[in-house]
Amino acid sequence: MAERNPEKILLAHGGGGQMSDKLIREHILAALANETLSKLGDSADIKLPAGQIRFTTDSYVVKPLFFHGGNIGKLAICGTINDLAVTGARPIAVSLSLIIETGFEIALLDKILESIGQTAKENNVEIVTGDTKTVEPGAADGIFINTAGIGLPLENAQMGFDKIKAGDNVIINGTIADHGMTIMSQRKGLEFDTPLQSDCAALWPLIEQLLDNTNGVRFMRDPTRGGVAVTCNEIARTTAMGLELYEDKLPVNPAVRAAADMLGFDVLNIANEGKFIAVVAPEAAQKCVDICRAHPLGKEAAIIGKITKPTKTPLVELVTNIGGRRIVQMPYGRELPRIC
Amino acid sequence: MAERNPEKILLAHGGGGQMSDKLIREHILAALANETLSKLGDSADIKLPAGQIRFTTDSYVVKPLFFHGGNIGKLAICGTINDLAVTGARPIAVSLSLIIETGFEIALLDKILESIGQTAKENNVEIVTGDTKTVEPGAADGIFINTAGIGLPLENAQMGFDKIKAGDNVIINGTIADHGMTIMSQRKGLEFDTPLQSDCAALWPLIEQLLDNTNGVRFMRDPTRGGVAVTCNEIARTTAMGLELYEDKLPVNPAVRAAADMLGFDVLNIANEGKFIAVVAPEAAQKCVDICRAHPLGKEAAIIGKITKPTKTPLVELVTNIGGRRIVQMPYGRELPRIC
């Protein structure tokens, strides 16, 4: 009977035969069933009201798989929702593809699938199609997850680098570096009096409110790998304008600050998984912050900087607490492997 | 300068910073650039004429990465095209997500990307969005690829298990087991006088001709993992009808037959990557075979079986060369790990 009810993933679970079928029906469908996915076709149909869709994909290799505030499954769904949300598209359908190392505990897989199902449900997106592969021990690290997502662009969301103007304000919806520092602290085995917690969250509910109730949002992006530093540098470089950040306005959880200092990281380079950077017209900035602060995902929102002016050498500068200025460089990239 | 022009993948290539940017621009965009992908957004816009799309995903973990007749990149694009094509949907856009082990040779990555670009171009699909993650040595096996695909269902393609009727013919577009036996032979270091070659191919051009020029195609599926045995068992089980296969009609490359016999495999269980099983009305069967045989992807097409009748115990039976009958079981699943 062991083979009929295995506690660990076997190679045969990815072989396309009886065992694959069992895994899909008894675990994946048990957690994620909906009318479309349950057909178990090679592909899924999605009915659309509009003639344009938005499409995104990400693979997730985060280590550890379970962290304070989330796990790889929740992260995958939130990440794909956020990639659509920051472009002003309502996420509607997600694909789910698993690469699982033989020997992985099925109980852990079930926990991950449960998070995936719950996060999708909370955000009104459906997991509509999927795939499961298994690899031998040592050929992967537990489980890797890919999600691709389809969204419907909101008509009133006209955002893009090309909409950004000198004088625009830069807003963030809360504290920075929570996700990356949580992951790094757990990897290093660090414990703090106030445990760090990832900000892993799906941002569409808040972004939808912002876009529905204001006109001045000109650009949004989620500062994941490479953190606020990467997103701000991309804005400066692509618009060929300077960008100023105010250190005293940047919301940082004190425990995150302490962990970053201890481990030698700059919080500006650290990944977030429940934050957006928005560039907004100055006259709309305070209203945007107010809307954020009234929402659970934006309680510590703040205006953290501004777009200065067109320049041949577009830089991101941090105005420090003591009034100095330093350049915030594009990170090299090796700061935090396997953060998402 | 080594870091500026590395020959191997570094963790920093997946970090979201300068090195990620360099990898994306100098290698990925160099191979795959198109108007949409080159925007390097978090997501891509796809304009659609219709109000319905079809969506699919697959991850690829094939080993070895390069095999006679293809590589993991070509396989990923063909596989995703085929998953859409067999449902009667024209493939239009594909996402590409890479998980790469640190130390992987960039020259090999370039070869894989070149195949991806070429296969996409030949089939008029665009790679529109993507993602790249790196993991430390030993945390993955070289490279894993995920593709998700979007297709437009053809209006005249009304296919599904529910369209299948007793008396329908079962067609395949050519020899079976080529892909799986090529992979296994290469893994075992076997050489044959006539080298085995994977059938890895994108089937949409042939399937489009079939659907445009006949009315009787009732169901299609690509017999990949688990081979013809899995696909036929799925048909029998889902329709609750018997399915008969004729051993003397099954096209098998003699070298593939020899390799399967030598290694103890049943060719019916072995994966194909450029084949479809079609269930067609008996009056349309010969025309379907003729259309296939006039096309490079279907030269050895044949009627290989038929749907018998409704039954409470739907089985797949093989009518053997000597007139006997044996049941073709649903494979267990462990026959061929990492075949795709």
Residue A71 has pLDDT above 70, yes or no: yes
DSSP secondary structure, A131-164, as one string? EEEEE-TTSBSSEEEEEEEEEEE-TT----GGG-
Q: Cis omega (within 30 of 0) on the bond before A331?
A: no
Q: Which pLDDT belongs to residue A96?
A: 97
Q: What percent of chain B has pLDDT over 90?
A: 84
- Beta-carbon neighbour count of residue B209 at 10 Å? 17
pLDDT tens-digit map of B162-181 = 999 999 999 999 999 999 99
Q: Do A146 and B97 touch (CB under 8 A)?
A: yes
Higher pLDDT, A226 or B335: A226
DSSP secondary structure, B253-289, as one string? -HHHHHHHHHHT--GGGS--SS--EEEE-HHHHHHHH
Q: Tell me the pairing of strands A241-246 and A302-310.
A: antiparallel
Between CA A338 and CA B16 the distance in angstroms is 11
- Beta-carbon neighbour count of residue B124 at 10 Å? 13
Q: Do A129 and B57 touch (CB under 8 A)?
A: yes
Residue A158 has pLDDT above 70, yes or no: yes
Between CA A49 and CA A72 the distance in angstroms is 32
Confidence of residue A1 (pLDDT cuts 50, 70, 90): very low
Q: Do B17 and A128 touch (CB under 8 A)?
A: no
φ, ψ (nearest 5 deg) of residue B121? -65, -45
Q: What percent of chain B has pLDDT over 70?
A: 97
pLDDT tens-digit map of A222-251 = 999 999 999 999 999 999 999 999 999 999
pLDDT tens-digit map of A170-196 = 999 999 999 999 999 999 888 777 789
Instruction: Name the β-bridge partners of B56.
Output: B149
Range(s) within chain B of domains with CATH label 3.90.650.10: 161-327
CATH architecture label of A161-327: Alpha-Beta Complex (3.90)
Closest CA to A285 of A206, A169, A138, A202: A169
Q: Which tokens go with B203?
A: 């089937």
The Cα of A241 is separated from the nearest Cα of chain B by a number of Å equal to: 19
Q: Across all residues in chain A, what is the average pLDDT?
A: 94
Confidence of residue B88 (pLDDT cuts 50, 70, 90): very high
Residue A6 has pLDDT above 70, yes or no: no
Q: Which pLDDT belongs to residue B15?
A: 85
Residue B334 has pLDDT above 70, yes or no: no
Contact residues for A19 (Cβ-Cβ < 8 A; gap 6+): A10, A12, A13, B332, B333, B334
Question: Looking at chain A, which residue has its C-alpha nearest residue B331?
Answer: A17
Would the pTM count as exceeding 0.90? Answer: yes
Residue A15 has pLDDT above 90, yes or no: no
Residue A97 has pLDDT above 70, yes or no: yes
Confidence of residue B6 (pLDDT cuts 50, 70, 90): low
CA atoms within 13 A on the CB side of B279: 32
Closest CA to B61 of A130, A104, A135: A135
Confidence of residue B314 (pLDDT cuts 50, 70, 90): very high
Closest CA to A81 of A115, A131, A126, A44: A126
ipTM score here? 0.94
Q: Which pLDDT belongs to residue A112?
A: 97
Query: In A, which residues are within 8 Å of B331 by CB distance?
Result: 15-18
Residue B8 CB burial class (10 angstroms; 0-12, 13-18, ≥19): middle
Query: In A, which residues are within 8 Å of B130 by CB distance?
Result: 57
Q: Which pLDDT belongs to residue A39?
A: 87
pLDDT tens-digit map of A262-294 = 999 999 999 999 999 999 999 999 999 999 999
Of A43, A51, A224, the CB nearest to B83: A43
CATH 2.40.170.20 fits A11-153, yes or no: no
Between CA B172 and CA B220 the distance in angstroms is 10
Residue A39 CB burial class (10 angstroms; 0-12, 13-18, ≥19): middle
Closest CA to A240 of A340, A171, A141, A307: A307
φ, ψ (nearest 5 deg) of residue A60? -120, 130
Helix (H, G, I), strand (E, B) or coil at B58: strand
CA distances from A310 to A101, A171, B47, B149, B163 (A): 50, 20, 33, 39, 62
A282-293 vs A204-213: helix axis angle to the nearest 10? 140
pLDDT tens-digit map of A196-223 = 999 999 999 999 999 999 999 999 999 9
Q: Do A11 and B334 touch (CB under 8 A)?
A: yes
Of A18, A51, A141, the CB nearest to B48: A51
pLDDT tens-digit map of B225-284 = 999 999 999 999 999 999 999 999 999 999 999 999 999 999 999 999 999 999 999 999
Range(s) within chain A of domains with CATH label 3.30.1330.10: 11-153
Contact, A171 vs A278, CB < 8 A?
Answer: yes
Q: Cis omega (within 30 of 0) on the bond before A64?
A: yes
